[in-house]
Amino acid sequence: MTTLTDDPTHCGFVTVLGAPNAGKSTLVNQMVGAKVSIVTHKVQTTRARIRGVAVHGQTQIVYTDTPGIFQPRRKLDEAMVSAAWEGNEGADVTLLMVDAPAYYENLKGDAKAAARKSAADTDRIVEGLKLAGVKAILVLNKIDLMPSDHLLAITATLNETADFTETFMISAEKRRGLETLRDYLISRMPEGPWMYPEDQLSDISDRLMAAEVTREKLFLRLHQELPYALTVETESWKEQKGGDIRIEQVIYVERDGQKKLVLGAGGHTIKAIGQAAREELQQMLDVKVHLFLFVKVRENWSSDPARYREMGLEAPKG
């Protein structure tokens, strides 16, 4: 609980940019101290901008978690990348998060395809920041997976490419280096009123967060490309007598074969996904949740403007 004093309040926006799977959502969740963005081992998990709010004494920091920036191939990709760049508009501090092991692997010249793509996406973001005239903070993530001399090599290479204000080395998952980064960000927040109530952790609605939780469980359970061919929408949210919540959600897929994979033999897969999502939602909401999942085939759902609005995205023009 924050104690009000005569000291002035400070508030500012910190945007976290980076290639897919750089660890942006993990960092934001750690900084906020609560889960506001879903996290999976798959790239491009985050689809829309999500703001997480952290309070430190008289300072409020609003973190903007953004979709990974990559070379778009589909309209949905274009909308995600556009959302990421727009998330940096008006930021007081911009963080460029880098998957350090992947970037170093590429520096050596014998990188696997995933590492090459991650490094190329990072270099593309650096160029985008330079064109926009934005001076960012370089944050090397996953330092627990590599020796310090490799980190120094990455730091030298990237700082030769762009003029970064500061460089931080962290492990978001292991919480290494986060206090130093947090204290620096606190020092950079301008004086002004808070943008959100003290007890608000995110700008995401309960309905959208519930859909995101289910989508996370789908990503974790299913494999290969199927997660990118689906989306989840909360169609109904009803508070019942006694305080229980009944939630109905629709999982949209593009083909009948995908629907069968989501359902699983005898409905086993969707039952497991529903159970995992329900348990997490009950923990988050601190009430009993009755979750009902339905799977529907909707060809080309990723081109439907209504689906974009549900995800918090703007459909690309043209």
* Tens-place pLDDT, residues 18-60: 998 999 999 999 999 999 887 877 767 777 788 999 999 999 9
Tens digit of each residue's pLDDT (9 = 90 or more) over 244-270: 999 999 999 999 999 999 999 999 999
Question: Whose structure tokens read 């759902």?
Answer: 301
**Gap between the Cα atoms of 144 and 150, Å rounded:** 12
Q: How many residues does the chain have?
A: 318
**Gap between the Cα atoms of 97 and 149, Å rounded:** 19
Question: Can you give the pLDDT at residue 7?
Answer: 83
Task: Report the b/e string of 193-224 with b at 16+ CB within 10 A.
Answer: ebeeeeeebbbbeebbbbbbbbbbbbbbbbee
- Answer whether residue 1 shows pLDDT above 60: no
What is the pLDDT averaged over residues 293-307?
87
Question: Can you give the pLDDT at residue 98?
Answer: 97
Q: Is 23 left (phi over 0), alpha (psi -120 to 50) or beta?
A: left
Tens digit of each residue's pLDDT (9 = 90 or more) over 164-174: 999 999 999 99
The number of beta carbons lying within 10 Å of the beta carbon of residue 13 is: 20
Question: Can you give the pLDDT at residue 43?
Answer: 67
**What pairs with residue 248 in β-bridges?**
236, 292
Question: Can you give the pLDDT at residue 3?
Answer: 47
What is the pLDDT averaged over residues 113-125?
92
Our separate counts of H helices and E strands in the chain read: 10, 9
Q: Which residue spans within 19-152 are E strands per DSSP?
A: 50-56, 59-65, 93-99, 137-141
271, 226 Cβ separation under 8 angstroms: no
- Answer whether residue 159 shows pLDDT above 90: yes
Q: How confident is the model at residue 79 (pLDDT cuts 50, 70, 90)?
A: confident
Question: Can you give the pLDDT at residue 2?
Answer: 47
Question: Can you give the pLDDT at residue 212?
Answer: 92
- Answer whether residue 85 shows pLDDT above 90: no
Radius of gyration (C-alpha) of the chain in whole angstroms: 20
Pairing state between β 231-239 and 245-253? antiparallel
Q: What percent of the chain has pLDDT over 70?
A: 96
**Gap between the Cα atoms of 65 and 68, Å rounded:** 9
What is the pLDDT averaged over residues 87-99?
92
Q: Which two tokens stand for residue 221?
A: 């359970």
Average pLDDT of the chain to the nearest whole number: 90
Question: Can you give the pLDDT at residue 232?
Answer: 94
- Answer whether residue 129 shows pLDDT above 50: yes
168, 180 Cβ separation under 8 angstroms: yes
Question: Can you give the pLDDT at residue 62?
Answer: 96
Quote the Cα angle for 122-127-130, to 5°. Answer: 125
Question: Can you give the pLDDT at residue 89?
Answer: 86
- Answer whether residue 190 shows pLDDT above 70: yes
Q: What percent of the chain has pLDDT over 90?
A: 69
Identify the weakest region by mean pLDDT among 5-9, 55-59, 160-164, 230-234: 5-9
Tens digit of each residue's pLDDT (9 = 90 or more) over 282-298: 999 999 999 999 999 99
